[in-house]
């Protein structure tokens, strides 16, 4: 039963990674990338590595998302296209 | 009895992950997407607690606690960005 759960979460990693690559809007891509590392850290717990999972959850899902959003916010004001 | 409840909870968690990912793929606005991510975070916490019970390693529950705190901050950052910029 836990094997099926692991397979479902690995499929979630693939779907959210594909979504992060193919999204047009930057914010949606950042959200999907955060979800990728969130599912990856659940997989690390299944692989009996709770310390790696904790690091992945704090850096990948927390810090990287905030830094990416900060960068988008800083570069958005200099955009040439006024419709964006 | 306890085994049956665990199996049922695992099936419900699987459906929650499935519908959350479907909402993330369809997601009309960014607000829908970040709420789907918030849902999937809470579901992932329950997955980790379930894995802690099944593997009989209760150090995993600490991972779930850290997870809840940090994902809350991530969702808060995205919500603030969508409202008026970070």
Tens digits of residue pLDDT in B25-84: 887 888 898 899 889 999 999 999 998 998 888 888 988 888 888 878 888 888 888 887
Residue spans of the domains in chain A: they are 2-76
Hey, of B38, B57, B70, B72, which one would you mutate to test binding to chain A, going by the most A CBs within 10 A of its CB? Answer: B70
Report for A5-14, A70-79, B66-75: range of highest mean pLDDT: A5-14
ipTM score for this prediction: 0.85
* Torsion over CA: A31, A37, A38, A43 (sign): positive
Binned at pLDDT 50, 70 and 90, residue A40 comes out as very high
**Min Cα separation A28/chain B (Å):** 6
């Amino acid at each position: 039963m836990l094997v099926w759960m692991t397979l479902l979460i690995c499929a979630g990693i693939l779907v959210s990674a594909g979504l992060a690559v193919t999204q047009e809007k930057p914010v949606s891509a950042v959200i999907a990338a955060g979800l990728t590392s969130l599912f990856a850290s659940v997989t690390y717990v299944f692989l009996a590595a709770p310390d790696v999972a904790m690091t992945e959850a704090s850096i990948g899902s927390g810090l990287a998302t905030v830094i990416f959003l900060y960068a988008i916010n800083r570069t958005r004001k200099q955009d040439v296209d006024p419709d964006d | 009895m306890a085994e049956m409840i665990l199996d049922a909870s695992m099936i419900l968690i699987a459906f929650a992950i499935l519908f959350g990912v479907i909402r993330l793929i369809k997601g009309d606005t960014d607000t829908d997407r970040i709420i789907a991510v918030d849902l999937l975070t809470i579901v992932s916490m329950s997955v980790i607690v379930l894995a802690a019970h099944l593997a009989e390693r209760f150090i995993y529950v600490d991972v779930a606690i850290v997870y809840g705190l940090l994902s809350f901050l991530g969702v808060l950052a995205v919500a603030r960005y969508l409202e008026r910029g970070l």
